[in-house]
A and B are shown apart, each in its own frame.
Chain A
């Protein structure tokens, strides 16, 4: 579904991604871990089309289409979704109006008729329950004054509403209390199917107990330096990243 080849990207003249290679198949769950500042959010941003990143080398293919050629909105319409590490607050844009606009723009792109008020509300209700999203937040301004956890839940709620093929969750677990973590993870698990793929960026193995990944990648200094299965996450939890960094330096000095 998604193929990333030798991806290099810079921001403000600074090289951040230094040759990422990643293959994500249909229905797969990938976890990306790595120390602060290693480039995890940058990778997510480049995939979603954030304009201050410049791709200097490499390719990204999504369902046979060149993702890097598309505007951010077209990527979303094609089925890429990014749950932000830091969702922005937009005072004055109501959550409901925002979602309706987004959903209908995507539907129009796909040649589907816009959802009428009633159908839309029905869908909203259904998805709210999935992630136990407080209905009172729906009429408020987008993320404005939401608690950290409420913002994260809103991201997953949007994910459920927009039903993308590829969802990238950037530290959705941070800021969630223990119950919320379970609820959100359950929500994600319910959304999982053979057609959908996920990339979960996280610092904590705990999330991966709820959302069991098929692959775990370690991103360090703009590259994926190790790929394993869920056991790798356990090992990282125990040992930290130093041993991997050392391994890398040994390899590089040879």
Chain B
């Protein structure tokens, strides 16, 4: 292929056709560990800026290699074990699903714009895109010339050290691009249903970029559906968000796959002066392996950041939340609360890194991680990592792991409530600190119902 034919169709076609013509017949794990050259064939020689970015990322990936248990950020999560489980093939081609597949993710009574992404590709015929002045939303592949893309794509410094993010940059297929011009507001929540489906075991890499310019505001809810019963999908998705001056983003991510799904989910956000970012992550039982990387860089002052996480895991589920609050500028507030309920032999990992730079005076940074260890073999590894180089700051962190309060259990049981029902009530109560912060009543109700259903079965 020549450069000339690629210009108008920036990368999608190019990558897909490369894949079709090249021969990655070997499993993906082997390709990424033993023969990066096989992957290299996927990225054509540098022709445009994006191809340069991809090539650089692939080089970086091969230099970094896959994380091992010796990689500091992956000490408690053996990613290679999960990558080796099945002979995944790199999947970049678009696919479509009938609308009925997405029904499972519907949130009753929620008035929203529903957008369906299948393996990262926008399926327009069953999506409703918000329209309006200053709202640009669509496939990432169709917006590589948009100002937000040109200015912000692959610009998050936090991504550069993460090899799986580099792999995504090198070989991603497509994702959702949102750009809100200054003062633009999306009037209803955007509900993205991420569908992962494939006829073979697949390694799928969606890539999203959301840019909210000055004074813009949006609420985005993400759900995940994996309908396949005979094949396993491994998603390695990356989302970059940019929240410009005085803009506000509410982002809810609901992870509720099934046993044939595994996920590394990377969100890198950057905030500018006076902006507000509210991130919610709900990991519910289903997916055996989930790793969430969440990082926020504060590039302006007087920002507000709320990171809320709730993970409820059962069986031998492994849920790893790796968070990083980067306080670069002074006078910013961040508040992080992650709560976990670990049933059966579920395994939780939480890392909360807070870096307060020397210039970031008057920082308030709070972090809390509370866990209910309800399974006999359940466990949690929780590590706060506070690095504070400024002297006039308020920072705190806390960690708890325990069972239900006996007093509370006795009170409920003394009213005739059986042990299981009492536990369900208590788990709902434990989750309340998080669910109560969900400001959309239909979503709040939906989540509470999901939690109750998990505990009652």
Give 16 pairs: A residue, B residue, CB < 8 Å, sorted on A: A48-B414, A49-B410, A51-B406, A71-B419, A76-B414, A76-B415, A92-B429, A93-B425, A93-B426, A93-B428, A98-B415, A98-B417, A101-B425, A102-B416, A105-B417, A162-B415
**In the complex with contacts A73-B416, A73-B419, A106-B416, A92-B411 CB distance below 8 A:** no
Q: Which of B411, B415, B428 has the most CB of A within 10 A?
A: B415
B429 touches A49 (CB 8 A): no
Q: Does A224 contact B (CB under 8 A)?
A: no
**In the complex with contacts A51-B406, A88-B407, A101-B421, A76-B413 CB distance below 8 A:** yes
List residues of chain B with CB under 8 Å of any chain A CB.
Answer: 405-408, 410-419, 421-422, 425-426, 428-433, 436
Q: Does A203 contact B (CB under 8 A)?
A: no
Within 8 A of B (CB), among A80-112: 81-82, 84, 87-88, 90-93, 97-98, 101-103, 105-106, 109
**In the complex with contacts A73-B416, A90-B429, A105-B421 CB distance below 8 A:** yes
- List residues of chain B with CB within 8 A of the CB of A52: 406
Q: Does A187 contact B (CB under 8 A)?
A: no
Within 8 A of B (CB), among A168-200: none
Shortest CB-to-CB span from B407 to chain A, Å, is 5
| Closest residue of B by beta carbon distance from A90 | B408
Interchain CA distance A76-B429 in the complex, whole Å:
22
Question: What are the 6 tightest A-B residue pairs by CB atom distance, in nearest-first order?
Answer: A92-B432, A92-B429, A76-B416, A102-B415, A72-B413, A106-B416
A73 touches B417 (CB 8 A): yes
Q: Does A158 contact B (CB under 8 A)?
A: yes
- List residues of chain A with CB within 8 A of the CB of B408: 88, 90
- List residues of chain A with CB within 8 A of the CB of B412: 90, 93, 98, 102
- List residues of chain A with CB within 8 A of the CB of B418: 73, 105
Shortest CB-to-CB span from A141 to chain B, Å, is 8
Shortest CB-to-CB span from A41 to chain B, Å, is 13
Q: Which of B405, B416, B426, B432 has the most CB of A within 10 A?
A: B416
| Closest residue of A by beta carbon distance from B424 | A101
- List residues of chain A with CB within 8 A of the CB of B407: 88
- List residues of chain B with CB within 8 A of the CB of A158: 415
A102 touches B417 (CB 8 A): yes
Contacts A73-B417, A92-B432, A102-B417 known; 16 new A-B pairs at CB < 8 A: A49-B410, A49-B413, A51-B410, A72-B410, A72-B413, A72-B414, A73-B419, A76-B413, A81-B414, A90-B412, A91-B432, A92-B431, A92-B433, A97-B425, A98-B415, A141-B432
A90 touches B411 (CB 8 A): yes
Interface string of A59-74 (1 = CB under 8 A from B): 0000000000001110
Interchain CA distance A93-B425 in the complex, whole Å:
6
**Residue from the list B411, B416, B421, B425 in contact with A88, Cβ < 8 A:** B411
Interchain CA distance A109-B416 in the complex, whole Å:
9
Q: Does A206 contact B (CB under 8 A)?
A: no
- List residues of chain A with CB within 8 A of the CB of B421: 101, 105
| Closest residue of B by beta carbon distance from A52 | B406
Interchain CA distance A92-B425 in the complex, whole Å:
8
Q: Does A77 contact B (CB under 8 A)?
A: yes
- List residues of chain B with CB within 8 A of the CB of A109: 416
- List residues of chain B with CB within 8 A of the CB of A162: 415-416
Q: Does A50 contact B (CB under 8 A)?
A: yes
Shortest CB-to-CB span from B453 to chain A, Å, is 15
Shortest CB-to-CB span from B75 to chain A, Å, is 33
